[in-house]
Structure 1
């Protein structure tokens, strides 16, 4: 059975990518892993209001809500493995794609320049992923 990894960050682009991945999985019988990355940037002499565990827990809630809303919207029963990676999105997606057949990302997630054709994460994945990459526009 083939495996699809889809990057989710709650943005409209990532929600479109999740919808695409679920529809594709229905047609192909693939397994779906939805991944959210929540790496904290290294900060020097700065106190954060939340711990790394708090950030990971919030990311897990965001991911679960996004997956639940999207599967309900599509009316699909495709099981989705939800994975939280405590790393930068690019590194986390490329690592998760090592044993995947397909990596699905939105054309732009949170952040970046609105005018950009591709976001930095999706662009990096296109050039460095070990499997086929689908970039979904919303």
Structure 2
């Protein structure tokens, strides 16, 4: 097995960027971002930003052992690729690139907007503030992204 590279920034050259964390809201954002990428004829960049606090522990880590950052990154890359295949399909009709970024979610997504055409986020992710109208990550992205931001709300 190859050593996983630890990436702290998603460098994209145009296209649609979408943040995913596995939540229902992020999966709605993924579907909307795919449609935007199809309409624009561009690459879909799926970004999974993570920190030790937010990353699930790799299940193959022996009890009592602490996974390395590279093991976390490798596990999250596999999970994110599986999630994309499950919800987008193996042949989505547009190029898809998965970026697993060791960074807090807002910073990881905002840094990916330097050259992006559009950032798509869900209205709420896995955070614990259920009373918020807009999640903290979406709020930060709307305020600081360097491209237009689409916040995908649930169908009401």
| TM-score, structure 2 normalization | 0.77
Cα distance change on mapping 1:30 and 1:54 into 2, 3 Å? same
Quote the offset at 1:76 in angstroms: 2.7
Q: Is the 8 A contact 1:5 1:96 kept in 2?
A: yes
Question: Aligned residue for 2:140?
Answer: 124
- Residue of structure 2 aligned with 1:54, choices 39, 54, 71: 71
- Any stretches of 5+ residues in structure 1 without a counterpart? 42-46
The answer to which structure has the higher helix fraction is 1
CA RMSD of aligned residues (A): 2.0
Matching of residues 4-83 of structure 1 within 5 Å: 4-40=16-52, 49-72=66-89, 76-83=92-99
- Any stretches of 5+ residues in structure 2 without a counterpart? 1-12, 54-63
Partner SS for 2:51: coil
Cα distance change on mapping 1:2 and 1:87 into 2, 3 Å? closer
Cα distance change on mapping 1:77 and 1:90 into 2, 3 Å? same
Q: Is the 8 A contact 2:73 2:100 kept in 1?
A: yes
May I ask how many residue pairs the two structures share in their alignment? 132
| TM-score, structure 1 normalization | 0.87
Question: Aligned residue for 1:90?
Answer: 106
